[in-house]
Structure 1
Amino acid sequence: MKAIKYFIITGLAAVSISMVSCTKNFSEINTNPNGSSLAAPEALLAPALYDVVTKNQTRALRLTNELMQDHVTTINSDEIHRYVIRPSESDYMWNNWYLQLTNFKDMYKGAAILQQKSLMGMALIMDAWVTSLITDLFGDVPYSEANMGKNNIYTPKFDSQKDIYTSILDKLDTANVYLAANQALTADQKPLDPLYAGDIAKWRKFGNSLLLRLLLRVSGKPEMNAGARIKKMVETSPATYPIFTTNDESAILRFTTTAPYVSAFNTYRDYDFNGDNGLAEFFINNLKDWGDPRIAKWAAPVGGQYLGIPSGYASGAVPDRKSYYPAALKDEPLLGNIINYSEVQFILAEAAVRGYISGNPKTYYDNGITNGITLWGYTVPANYLNGTDIMWNAGGSDGSKLEQIHLQKYYAMFFTDFQQWNEYRRTGHPVLPIGPGVLNNGKMPARFKYPVSVQSLNRANYEAAVAAMGGPDDLNTKMWWNK
């Protein structure tokens, strides 16, 4: 184990952070871009990507899976399932995402100097992905002046979410152009790519699949022209915008049980992973009703049965834990998911329902379900797609069709950072039961509060951002894309 010190500007202040590398391999490639102008751009990819994915894992366990009823805590004082989120929860994501955003930006700068177009495209995809995580959680955030501590900008202005999205969508378009040049990585560079081992075609599909996700996220804002852009990608110019076509192309940092690419949960005690929570009735009951084979990997039976507990239980009425995450899930390779093929199929199903594309939504819906199951190594049970609760309802309302799509998409995004919650806030689907102990007037939080450090160290810009969003800085102030 070898300590590596970074001097990082998170967009607020100069903070000295001591980072510990996971292995000798990472200590060799986890170069500090602020301390050396000679860092090879490809050397920044793996440690930064690994850090974001594993930090996202822990937040999915801690926050998303509680909010979205994958599981329920059995600690009465932990009230995330009751829609109570302490301000201190915000600091962890903010600090870590901005930390690695600096590395991805430096990766791009280094690749641009060397005119390595593939690395430039990869860095832009990473930049857009991490930026979307930040703005989707908080709303207006530092962007154009963020990560500029080396330029003595320690109190950056906050950019509007609309402007941020306009920029990151453009970055993904630019990444597509760079990757279309198909500039091969060298033999030395390929092992430093933990996603695709230097397969440029797959990186290009990743960037465009992420572009579809983010276009759909802002599709409720007419000024973004998202529907027309989706149609161009999928129907008018599909060869120009290749997207995932198989599970193997999914963007998943596939964990192993040996360093450097181990799950964030690899060193967790079983109790820390599953000892103080039980799987929720909503999560378990759907899988049982459908006969979904994934339940065997996602849930441990109790007394030979899969049983859940209610979310949002009243204070003091803590239920007995029943089914829970199996310990083997701690090292599951697929928990390194960023965006997978199944999610993309559900994106296209929704786009078809909304009239953005002319394809049959049933085709995409069925394909999304099928590949969501086969991704986890299972065969789709016979007649599964014709099950009462699964079969596509072509005669239903658009609302009922969206509920079908998003209920299945919910499972496709299992343990994927904040994506289940992001989609719920955008669409209101899938419909979740509201327990008797839910607070916040029964309303799902619309965002997270800004970190306390932001309020104290960048006060003027913080106050301006809160005012611009319509304030106050609380869980219920909606951001631009879901107003």
Structure 2
Amino acid sequence: MKYIIKTSLLLTMIFVMVTGCEDLTDINEDPNRPAEVSVDYLLTAAQRQLGLRYYGVFDNIAFGMTIAQYWAQNEYSDEVRYQYRPATNNTFWLQFYTAINDLEEIIRINDELDLEDPTVNAAQVNNQNAIATIMKAWAYHNMVDIYGNIPYSEALRGSEIPNPAYDDQEEIYNSLITNVQNAVADIDEDEPGFAGGDVVYGGDMSKWAKFGNSLLLRMGIRISDVNSTLAQDVISGAADNAISSNADNAAFQFITEQPSVNPLYVSYIVDGRQDYAATANFINLLNSLNDPRVAEYFSPADESGEFVGLTYGLESAEAAAIPRSEVSQLNPQLLEPDFEGMMMDYAETSFILAEAASKGWVSGSPEQFYNQGIAASMEYWEAASSAQISNYIASNPYSEDNLAIQKYIAFYMQGWQAWAEIRRLDLENIPEANLVVYEPSENFIDIQGIPKRRIYPLDEQSLNSSNYAEAANDIGGDEYDTNLFWDVD
């Protein structure tokens, strides 16, 4: 399904909602826009918007996959040298809030319904609101994990609050956890959700419940170093009905019709670009483990037939001087127009449960869940037979360091989440992970080591300057090396 609401209109709406520069009623009375928008269409618009932006050319592709050190750049190597483009940061922020606004609009429309009216299916309304709430929480938690403090309680209030304050990131997490817990509790798996337009699960409410619980697992483990009591409570309460197979994975379902196709397809096939290669450090990690996923992640170098990576952090001229035939490029399957964009999967859920089991928070052994995570990843990528998976696990048995490394390997194509876990698990301090940490004299922004966050968009600095300044002060500075609340070194 194509977008029902065009991107230009969505960006106009979110500009109004965040800055309050125009009364929302002016947009609602736009003669070119329907007065009432179906909640199904709003869900599609929000899911497509989040998918296309989260996995966008300058987002997961240029930022997430490079900062996680899966990919180097064949040329124009700004991002691997931490030289980011301000305009793309503005767009990411605006479009995420645009999608969140559509999800809130679903709830607003449903809240105006009379649930006592016999023609209204109250259970269906509750299911729709639960889906919108889970999607909102997923979007907001990603924003927090990227930036830190963000507008939350005052966001999207238009002229009522033209300059929204930033909320404390830990308080946002606490609110999101409560909201998702309530949403999951409200789901009636025997009743419908949206009549159409759900491009994640096709309306399957049992899978939405599993996704909601898995999202709770992720948020719980992410706060485990700063609030272990809450983390244990959240994880133990969600573990039994989380994603339990690859069939339950939550993913944006890209299609073969523009504009809702895989952004990598657009970049490589439509636009004819070939910007990314495997990093030498990631290839060397996979090769050192005899990891069969290397052949699903990358193609052998044309010249040697071997898997060879490109040095991470080369200047543009140095990278461009190396023939592409000498290094491993992306596996063509990643470039398919309908290659899905993962939101959360069985492998991640399993690795979270392994960590939780090691703390005694869930029943089962860490080894059991660790092995399950490796198997889930390899089965998803169709990288190995059952016997090969068993042999691989035997060669790479459970340990805390191996758990961190295997989770990192399994997060391939999910650069944003890999980056979050690099920070939380201090993966750069595990030598076997093979990450590149620039020396201070080599760094390209004023930080020590791998960036800890993305700085706030320039538009926020100019359009919401007083609240921006307060937020920057509250988090310890709007810098790339400012730790998020859950990132305790």
Match for residue 462 of structure 1 among 453, 465, 468: 468
Distance across 1 between alignment mates of 2:235 and 2:128: 25
Q: Work out whether 1:205 is the aligned partner of 2:210.
A: yes
Equivalent residue number for residue 119 of structure 2: none
> In structure 1, the residue corresponding to 2:351 is in which secondary structure?
helix
Equivalent residue number for residue 22 of structure 1: none
Q: Percent identity?
A: 27
> In structure 1, the residue corresponding to 2:307 is in which secondary structure?
coil
Q: Work out whether 1:158 is the aligned partner of 2:158.
A: no
Distance across 2 between alignment mates of 1:55 and 1:84: 20
1:32-431 counterparts in 2 under 5 A? 38-58=36-56, 59-75=59-75, 78-114=77-113, 115=122, 116-149=125-158, 151-180=159-188, 182-185=190-193, 189-222=194-227, 225-234=230-239, 238=240, 242-258=241-257, 261-270=260-269, 275-302=274-301, 303-313=304-314, 317-318=318-319, 320=322, 321=324, 322-331=327-336, 333-380=338-385, 382-387=387-392, 390-393=395-398, 401-416=399-414, 418-429=416-427, 431=433
Distance across 2 between alignment mates of 1:71 and 1:337: 18
Match for residue 437 of structure 2 among 427, 434, 439: 434
Shift in Å, 1:450: 0.8
Specify the code of the residue in structure 2 equivalent to 1:426.
R
Query: Closer, same or farther in 2 for the Cα pair 1:267/1:332, shift >3 Å?
Result: closer
Equivalent residue number for residue 28 of structure 1: none
Q: For residues 338-372 of structure 1, what are the alpha-carbon distances to aligned partners after superposition, in whole Å with 9 as ceiling and x for unaligned?
A: 10111100111111223333421111111111111
Aligned 8 A contact 1:122 1:203 in 2: yes
**More deviation, 91-100/405-414:** 405-414
Specify the code of the residue in structure 2 equivalent to 1:127.
K
Gaps of 5+ in 2: 23-28, 114-121
Aligned 8 A contact 1:218 1:224 in 2: no
Shift in Å, 1:290: 3.6
Distance across 1 between alignment mates of 2:339 and 2:407: 16
Gaps of 5+ in 1: 17-30, 394-400
Equivalent residue number for residue 452 of structure 1: 458
Shift in Å, 1:464: 1.1
Query: Closer, same or farther in 2 for the Cα pair 1:127/1:470, shift >3 Å?
Result: same
Distance across 2 between alignment mates of 1:15 and 1:280: 45
Distance across 2 between alignment mates of 1:314 and 1:264: 25
Shift in Å, 1:408: 1.7
> In structure 1, the residue corresponding to 2:211 is in which secondary structure?
helix
Specify the code of the residue in structure 2 equivalent to 1:312.
G
Query: Closer, same or farther in 2 for the Cα pair 1:358/1:438, shift >3 Å?
Result: farther
Specify the code of the residue in structure 1 equivalent to 2:406.
Q
Query: Closer, same or farther in 2 for the Cα pair 1:212/1:388, shift >3 Å?
Result: closer
Distance across 2 between alignment mates of 1:131 and 1:158: 13
Give TM-score, length-normalised by structure 1: 0.85
Aligned 8 A contact 2:77 2:314 in 1: no
**More deviation, 409-418/98-107:** 409-418
Shift in Å, 1:93: 1.3
Greater per-residue helix proportion: 2
Specify the code of the residue in structure 2 equivalent to 1:206.
F
Aligned 8 A contact 1:195 1:251 in 2: yes
> In structure 1, the residue corresponding to 2:187 is in which secondary structure?
helix
